[in-house]
Amino acid sequence: MDMSQYLEVFIDESKEHLQTINEQLLELEKNPEDLSIVNEIFRSAHTLKGMSATMGFEDLANLTHQMENVLDGIRNQKISVTPELLDVVFRAVDDLEAMVHSIAEGGDGKRDVTEVVQQLRQIEKGEPVTPSSKSDDKKPTLLQQTYDEFEYTVLQQSKEQGFNSYEIRVKLRADCLLKAARVFMIFEVLEQVGEIIKSSPTVEMLEAEQFDQEFIVTVVSKETKEDLYKRIMKVSEVEEVVIEPVQFSKAAPAAEEKEKLKTEELKTEKPKQTQAQTQQAEKSGSSSSKGNVSNKTIRVNIERLDILMNLFEELVIDRGRLEQISRELNNPELHETVERMSRISGDLQNIILNMRMVPIETVFNRFPRMVRQLARDLGKKINLEIIGAETELDRTVIDEIGDPLVHLLRNAIDHGIETPDVRRAKGKPEEGTVKLKAYHSGNHVFIEIEDDGAGISREKVLKKAISKGIISEQNAASLTDKQVYELIFASGFSTAEKVSDISGRGVGLDVVKNTIESLGGSVTVDSQEGVGSVFSIQLPLTLSIISVMLVEIQKEKYAIPLSSIIETAIVKKEDILHAHNQKVIDFRGKVVPLLFLKDIFEVPVSKEDDDFLSVVIVRKGEKMAGLVVDSFIGQQEVVLKSLGNYLTSVFAISGATILGDGQVALIIDCNALIK
C-alpha cells in the first residue's frame, strides 16, 4: 500500500499532536495532581504512536511507546510528577520533533535515542534517573554518531588493516563568519591524511551552515590523535577540538535493541489498545457534538494560495487599467460595470487576504516551552503571559517573525529578569514576569515584549557605545534616554559581562532590527532602570497589496507607502532653512530635513522648479523627513512586485508596481531614506 499520499497529513497532524503534548506538559508542571491533563497527553501520544506505526516509522512509534509507558504510570499514580521527570519527557518530545522534522525534510526519521529511552525505562521502573548528557554538555561528550551497517563494516575493516578510527568534535569560534568555508578547510586537512566516513550534521547541512558552532566527523587515518589535533588547530577560527577513538561496542548497529523494543511492543500493545478504546468510547459521547464543527475546515497547500494571490494581483493591475480606460471614454454603462467589478474584486481581495491570515499563536505556541527551559538553565523563576495570541498576520510575515521574537525573549530573560535573590533584595516578587502581547491597530499589527526586570542602564550602554566607537563622548551627553536605548540595536553591540549560550555574543538585536525593517516594520524600545523594559514591534498586516500615494518626479512616477506618510504639504521656497549643511523646514514646531528625491534617484530634469515645493512628510519611529516631489497624483492600492535577482540592492527602492496605463512605478522605501 502506497503511504506517500498520506505523508503531508501525517506530518501536519504529528506537529499538532506534539504541540499539544508540549502545552499540556507545561500545564502538568503547574498542576501535577491533575490526571485529566495526563489523559490529554496520553491521548495525543497514543494517536501519534498509531500514526507512526501505520506509516512505517518504527523508531518514532517505539520512542512514543516508551513515553506512553511513563505517562501510564503517572495516570495510574504509580509515578509522581517531578521537574526532573518532566525534563526527560521534554527531551523525548524534542527527539520526536526532530524525527518528524527529518521526515518532513525527506529523511527516514531515524535518530539515536538510546539515552532517552534508557532514562524513560528507569522512570518506569521507579529507579532514580541518571543525569542526562544535558548536564555534561559543558565537557564535550562524544559518540553522538550512530553508524549503519555499511559504515560499521568499513570501520571494522579499517581497524583490521591497521588504521585508527577517530570521532572528532570541532567547535568553531562564536564570531566565525564563513562557517561553511571553515568546515571545507577542516575536511580538506583531514582528507590529506585519512578518509572521512561520516559527519554529523550531514555534509549538505554543513555546506548550508545549518548547524550551531559544532560538528562531529568520524575519520579513518594512520596518523596519531596528536597529529590530527595539530593539523585541525592550524585552521583559523577553530575554538576547540576533541578527538576520541571510536568505541566499537557502541558503534555496532543497535539491532538487538530494536528486537527487544519490538517484543515489548507486542506484549503491551494488546491490553493498551483496549484501554485506549474504552477511553475513546467514553470520550466520544461528550465530543460527538464537537465532531460536526471540525469538519468545516479544510487543509490547503500554501503554494496554491500563493498562486491564487499572484493571479489576483494580475487582476488588480487590469482593474486599474480598466478604471483608467473608463475615465477616458466616459461611457456611463462601462463606468457602471467597472465600478461594480472594482467593488467585487475589492471583496475578493479581502477574502483572499483573510485566507492567508494565520493567528500569531502559531509562533507564540513554541515560547512557553523555551522560556521554561531557559528559566531552569539560568536558575530564574519566570512567568510568561501571552495576550492576544488570536491576532492574525499574513503568513509571509509569520514565517519571518519567529526568529526576531526568540532573540527578544531570550534577551528579556537573560539580561532583563534578575535572579530570585537579587529580586528579593530589591523588594520584587521572586518570579519575574515577561508579557508577550499582540494587537491590531489600523493596518498594522503591534507585538510587545515587556519584562519587569532590571531595565536598561543608560551609563552601561553609553560606556559600551563609546568604547565601540558607535558614538563620540561629546554626542553622548546630548542624547535623550530613548536615543540611548536605540543604540543597543547597533551592530555587534552587547552589554553582557560574560558570553553565555543564551546571549551576549553581540549578535541579535541588530539582526532583529534588520529583519523587522525588511518586512516594512519598525522596532522601538522603552525602559526604566530597575523597573523593566518594553520592546515594541510594528508590522504591516500584509506585504503583497499595499496602499500608496502616487507622486511625480519630473516625468517619472513613484509610489510612497501610506503607512509611512504623516501628511502632505506645499512649502514656499523662501520657507526653506539651512542647518548643518542640510535644507530643513519648520513643520508644526519641529525641524524636518528635506530630501530632494530627484537628486537621490538622479531623475533626468525636464522642467524647471516652481516657487512652491510639494513635500510628503514621512516618519520612521521618532524621526521624520520631508520628501520633495514635483506633484501629487493620488492614493491607490497597488501590487508590490520585487525587482528580481538583478536589482536586489537598489538604494531606497523596495519594489515596483504596474499602473493602470501599463507604466511601472517604483515603490520608495522610506525606512532606508530616513537612516
Query: Which residues carry out catalysis?
Result: 46, 68, 411
Angle 334-338-339 from CA coordinates, rounded to 5°: 115
Phi/psi for 553 (5° steps) reads -125, 110
What DSSP letter does each residue of 275-342 carry, written as one string?
Answer: HHHHHHHHHHHHHHHHHHHHTT-----HHHHHHHHHHHHHHHHHHHHHHHHHHHH--HHHHHHHHHHH
Segments of 529-647 assigned E as strands:
532-540, 545-553, 556-561, 565-572, 577-579, 582-587, 590-596, 612-620, 623-629, 631-639
Q: Is 78 exposed, middle or buried (0-12, 13-18, 19+ CB in 10 A)?
A: exposed
Helix 7-30 vs helix 367-378: angle between axes, to the nearest 10 degrees? 50
For residue 107, give the C-alpha cell: 529523511
Distance CA(410)–CA(354), nearest Å, equals 31
Cβ neighbors of 150 (< 8 A, separation 6 or more) are: none
Distance CA(62)–CA(45), nearest Å, equals 11
Q: Does residue 128 have a cis bond before it (omega within 30 degrees)?
A: no
Place of cell 471540525: 294
Helices (H), 519-665: 597-600
Angle 164-165-167 from CA coordinates, rounded to 5°: 140
* Residue 565 and residue 616 in contact, taking contact as beta carbons nearer than 8 Å: yes
Phi/psi for 151 (5° steps) reads -65, -40
Q: How many helices (H) and strands (E) does the chain have?
A: 23, 22
For residue 313, give the C-alpha cell: 494581483
SS (H, E, C) 21-78: HHHHHHHHHHCCCCHHHHHHHHHHHHHHHHHHHHHCCHHHHHHHHHHHHHHHHHHCCC
Rg (CA), the chain: 30
Place of cell 554518531: 145
Place of cell 521618532: 622
CA-nearest of 136, 149, 140 to 198 is 149
In total, the chain counts a number of residues equal to 675
The helix (H) or strand (E) run that includes residue 401 is helix 395-411
Segments of 342-408 assigned E as strands:
357-359, 382-387, 392-394
Place of cell 543497535: 254
